[in-house]
Structure 1
């Protein structure tokens, strides 16, 4: 059959997989993957399965092109990311099972754990092969099925529009994420930064585009998103801040709309070229700086996702609102919160993502910020 997908079925010892994760020849979170979503309870149950010698379903890996000069190759996890991460955390001492981490096991138990054979299916797929994402999506249709935003993040991984949203959501860092140095497996050596392999980012992203995105990452908006209690840890795991950022961008460009209706449209239209990206970074970072200087109380309703969305959009779309002193704007919002109308309260509590509710909240926030100081 033409274009038949080649794969090999085999087993690999945990020590082999742990070493590959350590030296970054195995990418745990390639560009098409989701975030880590397993809770500690899931991780402990899984490690206990290994310690008892019970079997578990196979993991799927993709092998990239072989570097014939250096005689090396890179691999990426297509399915099994959560399981391999649990193994890495247990070995690193970040996860305990029945009060014990890897270093607390006896020598025999450590050896048995590291020699445990993991069933592996190896696909012969290079980083840019479109079948890679197709296989990933097919393998994630059931348990812990991909959410809408996780599917979009994988499908449009090379989109310039998505990259801007990822940077604003705090998903892109200026430096590689440190990978724990395992040393002799289970050591406590300091973490070191190891460059990712060919699967670390979508090969369809041009080098200049990626460099520009990285240069503009970790700005004021991304910092605000990650430091205030707007999203829970679980929501970060499921990429909720990314969908939030996409909707902020789309609303800035086109006004309020229903739910996520404009997101795919803009992802398609501005996939290769996003001329407003510099403007977006500038405006949203300035908006974030303004919000920080408002000195809003940590328990303020404005850190609620729906209210925060409205506040960001209004301040971003109407620069005149940012011409006043941030502290004065903060006082006005405090007064609005203390005298909150039932109409606004309902629009911030029910059907919050419908256009009618978004329009209403926007109008009322705008009026509050345009009003004179009490």
Structure 2
């Protein structure tokens, strides 16, 4: 495999994109997900003459009769597309007051922009399946990235930042919801993303909705202010229950269900939950679940079903719904006590 590196002037790449000689977004590549802020900062990088990582190009189809052909941008589509949008004055970039439009730059600056040298690694002519494999190796778990780390490499926008801020709330540290390994591999952010999306919508299967929400709210997340108030309100209520750190309430699957169901009752349904009553009912319920886990109280079907849903495939939609329905009933029953 030929992977020789060389420099190409930016103007050569931009004119190739314009003429169709360079295809910046082949079918196997992901859609553009940079925020407007990301684009602005990257354009400034080039205008100020700082380098950016190499891009990968491979030979595309060639017309044997005319000799005309195209190249495929294997990796680097967001960078080159952003620069092309700036060069062409595309409405897909909102420049604001901090960045002068390309058309309004002094000619000397325009020339410097066009003459900027991009490091290009040319992979030569190879079959499409090999190109796809190279792209996957560059951008996927071949480098040990988990799903959230991959999302983080693609999405740096408002929704990801919101979930990241939620994961850093003092509550999660105080109750040891996340391990150091969770934090190191961004599983705390992944967990909080799933939690936030669930209270915004409903239970879903594993991480299936993460990418859709990260992309939908990548540029703006106007609900952030109201939602963080709701989250803090629910966390304060759970904190007021005064459960011991060893309580089942703070196991990941159990806490997920507890948070979602209390949010639905307190916020959506405006139920007047009383902490003392809720604590009593939950404490009894969790003790029954723990007994079922240890082989006792096997005749308590609700506790046994809940335990199994928290133990096996706990992130499946079905398990989340089962736990939610059972725990909701416990919370509702707490309000029926004298």
TM-score, with length taken from structure 2: 0.55
1:166-211 C-alpha deviation (Å, 9 max, x unpaired): 11011xxxxxxxxxxxxxxxxxxxxxxxxxxxxxxxxxxxxxxxxx
Match for residue 300 of structure 1 among 239, 243, 247: 247
The answer to whether the 8 Å contact 2:137/2:143 transfers is no
Separation of aligned partners in 2, 1:76 and 1:330: 55
Residue 335 of structure 1: aligned partner:
284
Are 2:271 and 1:309 equivalent residues in the alignment? Answer: no
- Aligned-pair Cα RMSD in Å: 3.6
1:221-252 C-alpha deviation (Å, 9 max, x unpaired): x1111221211111110011101111011111
Residue 273 of structure 2: aligned partner:
324
The answer to whether the 8 Å contact 2:140/2:150 transfers is no
Residue 176 of structure 2: aligned partner:
229
1:144–1:296 distance in 2 versus 1, CA, 3 Å: farther
Moved more, 323-332 or 306-315: 323-332
1:314–1:140 distance in 2 versus 1, CA, 3 Å: same
The answer to whether the 8 Å contact 1:160/1:272 transfers is yes
1:283–1:76 distance in 2 versus 1, CA, 3 Å: farther
Are 2:334 and 1:369 equivalent residues in the alignment? Answer: no
Separation of aligned partners in 2, 1:142 and 1:244: 19
The answer to whether the 8 Å contact 1:259/1:353 transfers is yes
Match for residue 162 of structure 1 among 160, 169, 177: 160
How many Å apart are 1:344 and its aligned residue? 0.6
Residue 273 of structure 1: aligned partner:
220
Match for residue 313 of structure 2 among 344, 351, 357: 351
Separation of aligned partners in 1, 2:194 and 2:180: 20
Q: Which SS does the other structure have where 1:230 is aligned?
A: coil
Residue 206 of structure 2: aligned partner:
259
Separation of aligned partners in 2, 1:366 and 1:251: 15
1:301–1:144 distance in 2 versus 1, CA, 3 Å: farther
Stretches of 4+ aligned residues off by more than 2 angstroms: 1-5, 64-68, 75-78, 128-132, 137-144, 320-325
Structure 1, unmatched stretches of 5+, are 6-31, 33-63, 79-124, 171-221
Separation of aligned partners in 1, 2:173 and 2:271: 22
1:277–1:142 distance in 2 versus 1, CA, 3 Å: closer
How many Å apart are 1:148 and its aligned residue? 0.7
Are 2:151 and 1:152 equivalent residues in the alignment? Answer: yes
1:370–1:141 distance in 2 versus 1, CA, 3 Å: closer
1:77–1:288 distance in 2 versus 1, CA, 3 Å: farther
Of Structure 1 and Structure 2, which has the larger fraction of its residues in helix? 2
How many Å apart are 1:2 and its aligned residue? 5.1
Match for residue 290 of structure 1 among 237, 254, 261: 237
1:109-150 C-alpha deviation (Å, 9 max, x unpaired): xxxxxxxxxxxxxxxx9xx98999xxxx96675776111101
Separation of aligned partners in 1, 2:271 and 2:309: 24
How many Å apart are 1:313 and its aligned residue? 0.9
TM-score, with length taken from structure 1: 0.50
Residue 64 of structure 2: aligned partner:
none
1:272–1:163 distance in 2 versus 1, CA, 3 Å: same
Separation of aligned partners in 1, 2:270 and 2:227: 17
Separation of aligned partners in 2, 1:314 and 1:76: 46
Q: Which SS does the other structure have where 1:348 is aligned?
A: helix
Structure 2, unmatched stretches of 5+, are 1-7, 14-37, 39-44, 55-78, 85-117, 120-135, 290-302
Separation of aligned partners in 1, 2:141 and 2:316: 29
Q: Which SS does the other structure have where 2:311 is aligned?
A: coil
Match for residue 360 of structure 1 among 289, 304, 322: 322
How many Å apart are 1:334 and its aligned residue? 0.4
